[in-house]
Structure 1
């Protein structure tokens, strides 16, 4: 396997766990990961030494070294993009990635921000949080869905959705998969190496349960509900029904990074 370097901007609150999730799904001796946190978000805040010892503040001067880049989700979906304190930093990074034309993967809110910035797709707040494991229908071929069956299971956890009409009317975007409840799962650009995934396929078996516990302990989500289609009817433990989908999806993405790198060489 070709040696590849992947940069990851981690915008999640549970940064250490999120790093571990991506380390696990992208695990290979030939994959080198570098994790960043938002430099502007934490400019006046002290971070846990465990974070600063394993992550770096985002530095746009370092982006040229990577063969692929990932921007994670972030718990700011209910805010307008302009209200997010690190919005300009994100936009500067997106412009940098667009100019380099390297393989890009945007996850959940990261996908929302990128679709809005690159293609002016509007964001809509959902009537209630979509939270659970759903079957997902493949509506168009994608290299990221190779060896993945139709109606594949995947975890969704979000309060917002991108405008379907905007996407359908944009000739540069293709919807590749949609969940059983009609929400986006995977969108891709047909002119750039950009993929936008709205499922948290990087989550481990406990991921949705951990998210529920974080919401309950925060005191900010008093009406937080359990994920649907997730807990076993036998022992009420979380089920890992998307394990094989996860494995195939991220291997497919790494293959895309390698192919793009070899073409550039």
Structure 2
């Protein structure tokens, strides 16, 4: 089954060209089926690239997905055209009376800021509390995952001495987890962050580490009590995302080395190979499957019934 997207959303054309099944909103409304409602709270500056990355992953399952793009209400994007935001995004204040089967909270390039200094932090805490009554399962990514761990459990983020940047091998620690169904014993994932959350603090808060690296720490963590997954790295990245980030950092004079284990022979002149795509699809497919297996058919019962 396809993912439902507006036909004039840039991701519609990109994913169609890649062979991903997509359906226009008008066609979807004629189908006698209850699609899964997934919201994407997009905090990244390059919103079109990010929405395409996540739509690609959640649109690759056999289930029909109705994707809603959400923005912080008062925050104005400086890197995405106002016309795009107006046409395709809804503010959190506009959607908070609704219920969703799933919510993805993306990362944001604001790791250096204390959480309370983020301009939209107050509304984001409202979003996170809202997930406990109006969202069946939540998936926090990178800074979004750190924000949820801090808000719900007081788990801090710690500055790293140097940016964790590259493709790192992570090990499956809970092979029986339904989220890791079909995973190899280990896999490679892109990492791009200046901060970390520490294993002992996550586990002391009652969370379970599912994927981890001895070099970059916890990667995927489950907070079962909150129906949340936290991933601190970036399975959603395109093949060239780290290359573009590296070029940007170099242009800005940031103290960063080429991403480790990413370019063939660690040579930035060579095109990188994507070694994480299959596990990215597995993880998000497993997450969607868990939602499908456990969410109420009646959306109004989300947040009101025990699984």
User: Which has the larger Rg?
Assistant: 2
- Superimposed CA distance per residue, residues 34-66 of structure 1 (whole angstroms, 9 cap, x where no aligned partner): 111222322999953223322222226446331
Per-residue deviation, residues 145-181 of structure 1 (Å, max 9, x unmatched): 11011221111111111133221222x2111111241
| Partner SS, residue 67 of structure 1 | strand
Question: Helix, strand or coil: the match of 1:176?
Answer: strand
Of the candidates 164, 168, 180, which is equivalent to residue 134 of structure 1? 168
* Higher mean C-alpha deviation, range 43-52 or range 102-111: 43-52
Matched, 1:20 2:52: yes
TM-score in terms of structure 1 length = 0.90
In structure 2, the CA distance between the partners of 1:99 and 1:262, relative to structure 1 (3 Å rule), is closer
Q: In the superposition, relative to structure 1, how do residues 160 and 60 fare at CA in structure 2: closer, same or farther (>3 Å)?
A: farther
- Aligned residue in 2 for 1:3: 35
Partner of 1:161: 196
RMSD of equivalent CA atoms: 2.4
Runs of 4+ off more than 6 Å: 43-46
Q: Distance in 2 between matches of 1:193 and 1:63?
A: 20
Structure 1 residues 177-221: Cα deviation after superposition (integer angstroms, max 9, x where no partner) = 11241411011113231100111111111121122233344x2x4
Following the alignment from structure 2 to structure 1, what is the Cα–Cα distance between the partners of residues 97 and 220? 25
| Residues 1:46 and 1:251: Cα distance change in structure 2 (over 3 Å) | closer
C-alpha separation between the residues in 2 aligned to 1:251 and 1:185? 18
Aligned residue in 2 for 1:226: 258
Task: Point out where structure 1 has 5 or more consecutive residues left out of the alignment.
Answer: none
- Check whether the contact 1:40–1:89 (CA below 8 A) recurs between aligned residues: no
Residues 67-98 of structure 1: per-residue CA shift (max 9 Å, x gap) = 10010000011111011111111100000001
Decide whether the 8 Å contact of 1:134 with 1:180 is kept in 2. Answer: no
TM-score of the superposed pair, with normalisation by structure 2: 0.79
